[in-house]
Structure 1
């Protein structure tokens, strides 16, 4: 057996969102007899720490001058040191630095980019959206293969010029236990929040960003406030809209109903304590957290956008609602709560689907098949 193929992964790593979770699951599951991963991040954060705990080599990139503002200089240095056969980038900043650094070094590695989200929705500031959108597309020429996390996203980007022949769809996946988790009779989360044990909890796990649609969940919760006096909402995640959303919650008179937990390390333990999971995103590349919610045996309500259309089979293993529509969202929550047996059946169907199709083994196999084709 020859030496393992070196793969350099590049990602922002400033927060621990879906892309970071995707990458962590991928690299920790690689067969080390065949693949030697090294991860480069731009920030010392949760991802870097988790990688170190798993004894996966990680480098925190520190641009030191103007030409290195997007990381080209330190990535070039890393390419020279590691001599990777494959560079796999995740996220706009990582994409630009990896592609341009590899080009500057004479293209010694094959470049793979996984696209997790639509760039225009990630950058609400117009000049950033225009600048990074231009640079992202301009550097597509330096990518050997694109991986899209949903068919919907691939179709959308192909219309914008993404080379279809150099792209494939690989759905996200999660680390599956041997058997489903079982809900406990006593809820530590309700105790933590000072709530009675019979309180109904609607959970949302998402960064506090405009694209995640929390505003519409506030509006939906306001509509349901009187009908369900025992209904509370738990929001897990941090982000730039924290203060704005806190103000919206206050203005809606829901300070006692909506609980901001911030970033948590125990999401997998929290999920089974919810009665219902809601993801009201304006857009989602895939919606990895929905798989986690389904794995936990929760009925799911999500926006009918992007990759969520491929994750949730409306009426079978969850409910889909139009995005940015508080009326439809409140009606779906009402339906799920008022028809518990139907919700239970949808939750069971979702859990079964995740166990059939959501494994990391499938993700790793499909991803390494891309690597092998590029090497041959």
Structure 2
């Protein structure tokens, strides 16, 4: 089967990372190529594609309507002549100007996704049941759920469940507090510090984004500069090799279609605490494989963190169940197989 994935840019986002993993896994048995439309390319990410994958760069300026780039794109697609055309942004279908035999698919990576181009695709993939439900609330589309996958075998597992002081918390995501809710966690930690001044804890935020300055000021305002550190972007290898050193991952998102870092923490046998929104709650089995707090409620977030700390020894049972569930449902092998079976 000839599969061509199409994406606008190749930066450090979750969609791009997922594309690399899926393409590499599919290339073990299929003829896989990737077309990157825009010039915006992170060479480190691009270098992660396996040698057997053909990658093509159209090198269009983002947002450009240069007709020569459009012709180049369509000539290339016609030359490849794929059986499967798998798009990772809904507007990519509008770049295809000539009739092709390939069946056209779109992966919907988020909630509240624009539906304007959905009917131009033969089938939609949703990264969670929550995203599928959101799509179907807007129309009678053909949708199949395929969870995002992770390399569970590359993640180091936690072995000790008697945390030493300080209690170590980690949060991994783009620094965009209006979506990811990092300010909720910071305010919750401030509340914990006021209520339990003797409790020693640290919180590391991994990621970059437009909210960095705002979050740093919030840390200073709450006198948490000795507790909270911002590590910036780190490689996935760094995250996979260091997650197990933490005692808790907190994902306080305000809206989220899935929540890949939650699954990664489960694979590391690290306890997780998420806001009770659809995507992350789906990952933790509505509380069976992790803890949750009321979305946007600072006091409830603080309360749940304190409960986890006080009864930490009980987390070992939950994390083992979470690990087994993650391995069965969120491995990259499972994700690739489901895509191949549904093309």
1:30 to 26, 31, 36: 26
- Counterparts of 1:63 and 1:313 in 2: how far apart (Å)? 42
CA RMSD in angstroms, aligned pairs only: 2.6
Is 1:237 the counterpart of 2:207? The answer is yes
3-state DSSP class of the match of 2:278?
coil
Alignment partner, residue 341 of structure 1: 313
Describe the shift of the 1:251–1:41 C-alpha distance in structure 2 as closer, same or farther (beyond 3 A): farther
- Larger deviation: 111-120 or 211-220? 111-120
- Counterparts of 1:77 and 1:249 in 2: how far apart (Å)? 52
- Counterparts of 2:340 and 2:52 in 1: how far apart (Å)? 20
Describe the shift of the 1:39–1:320 C-alpha distance in structure 2 as closer, same or farther (beyond 3 A): farther
Alignment partner, residue 296 of structure 1: 268
Q: CA shift at 1:66, angstroms?
A: 4.0
- Counterparts of 1:73 and 1:241 in 2: how far apart (Å)? 39
Alignment partner, residue 86 of structure 2: 88
Alignment partner, residue 75 of structure 1: 73
What CA deviation, in whole Å up to 9, does each residue of 1:202-260 have, x standing for no partner? Answer: 00110011200001011101101141541010011111111121122222221221110
Describe the shift of the 1:255–1:61 C-alpha distance in structure 2 as closer, same or farther (beyond 3 A): farther
What CA deviation, in whole Å up to 9, does each residue of 1:308-333 have, x standing for no partner? Answer: 12111344321122211111111111
Describe the shift of the 1:147–1:174 C-alpha distance in structure 2 as closer, same or farther (beyond 3 A): same
Describe the shift of the 1:68–1:77 C-alpha distance in structure 2 as closer, same or farther (beyond 3 A): farther
3-state DSSP class of the match of 1:50?
coil
- Counterparts of 1:178 and 1:259 in 2: how far apart (Å)? 25
Describe the shift of the 1:256–1:27 C-alpha distance in structure 2 as closer, same or farther (beyond 3 A): same
TM-score, normalised via structure 2 length = 0.88
Alignment partner, residue 102 of structure 2: 109
- Counterparts of 2:217 and 2:52 in 1: how far apart (Å)? 42
Contact persistence 2:219–2:228 (CA under 8 A): yes
- Counterparts of 2:255 and 2:232 in 1: how far apart (Å)? 21
Alignment partner, residue 367 of structure 1: 339
Alignment partner, residue 59 of structure 2: 62
- Counterparts of 1:314 and 1:306 in 2: how far apart (Å)? 9
Q: 1:1-376 residue pairs with structure 2 within 5 A?
A: 4-14=1-11, 16-40=12-36, 42=38, 43-45=40-42, 46-51=44-49, 56-63=53-60, 66-68=64-66, 72=70, 75-90=73-88, 94-96=89-91, 98-102=92-96, 104-119=97-112, 133=114, 137-161=115-139, 163-164=140-141, 166-177=142-153, 181-183=157-159, 198-209=165-176, 210-226=178-194, 227=196, 229-265=199-235, 266-371=238-343
Q: CA shift at 1:31, angstroms?
A: 4.5
Describe the shift of the 1:63–1:322 C-alpha distance in structure 2 as closer, same or farther (beyond 3 A): same
Residue segments in structure 1 that go unaligned for 5+ positions in a row: 121-132, 188-196, 372-376
Describe the shift of the 1:231–1:143 C-alpha distance in structure 2 as closer, same or farther (beyond 3 A): same
Q: CA shift at 1:269, angstroms?
A: 1.2
- Counterparts of 2:333 and 2:231 in 1: how far apart (Å)? 32
- Larger deviation: 308-317 or 286-295? 308-317
3-state DSSP class of the match of 2:215?
helix
Describe the shift of the 1:322–1:316 C-alpha distance in structure 2 as closer, same or farther (beyond 3 A): same
TM-score, normalised via structure 1 length = 0.81
Contact persistence 2:170–2:248 (CA under 8 A): yes
- Counterparts of 1:328 and 1:78 in 2: how far apart (Å)? 54
